[in-house]
Amino acid sequence: MEVFTTIADLWRWRTGAISPVGFVPTMGYLHAGHLSLMRQARRESSSVLVSIFVNPSQFGPDEDFQRYPRDLNHDLDLIRTTQADAVFTPSVDEMYPAGASTTVEVEVLSGILEGTSRPGHFRGVATIVCKLFHLVHPQLAFFGEKDYQQLKVIERMVHDLHMPVTVVGCPTIEEVLPVFHAFVSDTVLVAHNAAFDMRFLQLKEASTGVRFDQPVLDTLLLSAVVSPNQESHELEAIAQRLGVAVVGRHTALGDAVLAAEVFLRLVPLLAARGIETLGQARAAAQQTWFARLKY
């Protein structure tokens, strides 16, 4: 994962980035909501850039910009877990050079609700997001629906200024998981390195009120069953061995299709070892070294 602080280095990275580029702008001090945006960007984009910039122009006169919490090293550790490709962490002088006097304001939307008690706040938000979009040139930009007024301000700005970027509003995990839980009821879940995904779901049980207790078949473990002496059981490596074309990797649909196709190729290989039922497959998977991995 690259980390850079200058616009020149950002442009250098952007020149070589594979499209579509997904962008997640943040002010740092990250939490689970931010990370879910980054994972969504990873699923839908070929290249993912995260920015960390505490924007002074969206702080009011009674709001302490200097006391806003910052922990860059911890933030970078968290971002690495989402498999983002790069992080842009500019200084205030880099984003607002001496003499800068141009601002962007979305009228009407910026002056209601939260805007009435924080005058100038959404002008600061629109200005910095406009500058970042201009610098990054993303095809996709991801924002949480939890900050609904901010999302609507950015959508209006993009529409009015004809910006060539799709703003993706992401629902909260508390909204998504119950729907997904109902969708996959009475199914067997198939995934690659499923322990990582299941651990994430377990951490959200208390806040969402749902528990995923379906049986799971993990292509990582099943690959180790049929090819115990292979050096790599990464999804791309398994696909190559089994003759499965890798298309749309690191997108939600692409990863799902790839894991499914790999699983279908593994089924006859498991059968050749006398593993023909769900119970037999799960039992054999638990005997592999990878079954010891915990997250």
Give yes or no for a contact between 1 and 13, defined as CB atoms under 8 angstroms apart: no
Name beta bridge partners: 142: 168
Token readout for 134 is: 């201009």
CA 132-172-2 angle, to 5 degrees, is 40
Give yes or no for a contact between 106 and 122, defined as CB atoms under 8 angstroms apart: yes
Q: Which residue matches tokens 């009228």? A: 107
Task: Summarize the confidence of residues 153-179 as an average pLDDT.
Answer: 91
Residue 192 is among the residues annotated as catalytic for this protein = no
DSSP annotation of 189 reads: E
The H or E element spanning position 200 is: helix 194-203
Token readout for 125 is: 């938000």
Q: Largest alpha-carbon pair distance within the chain?
A: 74
Number of DSSP helices (H) and strands (E) in the chain, helices first: 14, 8
Rounded CA separation 123/128 (Å): 9
pLDDT at 162: 97
Rounded CA separation 157/165 (Å): 11
Contacts of residue 70, Cβ cutoff 8 Å, sequence gap at least 6? 28, 29, 54
Contacts of residue 29, Cβ cutoff 8 Å, sequence gap at least 6? 68, 69, 70, 71, 75
Question: Of the ranges 82-91, 107-116, 237-246, which is most confident?
Answer: 82-91
Confidence of residue 2 (pLDDT cuts 50, 70, 90): very high
The alpha-carbon radius of gyration of the chain (Å, integer) is: 22
pLDDT at 10: 98
Q: Is the pLDDT of residue 111 over 90?
A: no
Confidence of residue 253 (pLDDT cuts 50, 70, 90): low
Rounded CA separation 95/91 (Å): 7
Q: Is the pLDDT of residue 252 over 80?
A: no
Percentage of the chain with pLDDT > 70? 98
Mean pLDDT of the chain: 91
Token readout for 75 is: 């933030």
Q: Is the pLDDT of residue 73 over 80?
A: yes
Confidence of residue 249 (pLDDT cuts 50, 70, 90): low
* pLDDT per residue as tens digits for the range 172-231: 777 788 888 998 889 999 999 999 888 888 888 888 899 999 999 999 999 999 999 999
pLDDT at 177: 86
Confidence of residue 288 (pLDDT cuts 50, 70, 90): very high
Percentage of the chain with pLDDT > 90? 69
* pLDDT per residue as tens digits for the range 30-67: 887 899 899 999 999 999 999 999 999 998 877 778 88
- Whether the pTM exceeds 0.75: the reply is no
Confidence of residue 250 (pLDDT cuts 50, 70, 90): low
pLDDT at 68: 83
pLDDT at 65: 83
* pLDDT per residue as tens digits for the range 259-269: 999 999 999 99
Question: Which domains occur in the chain, in start order?
Answer: 2-171 (3.40.50.620), 174-292 (3.30.420.10)
Find the catalytic residue in 34, 121, 233, 250.
34
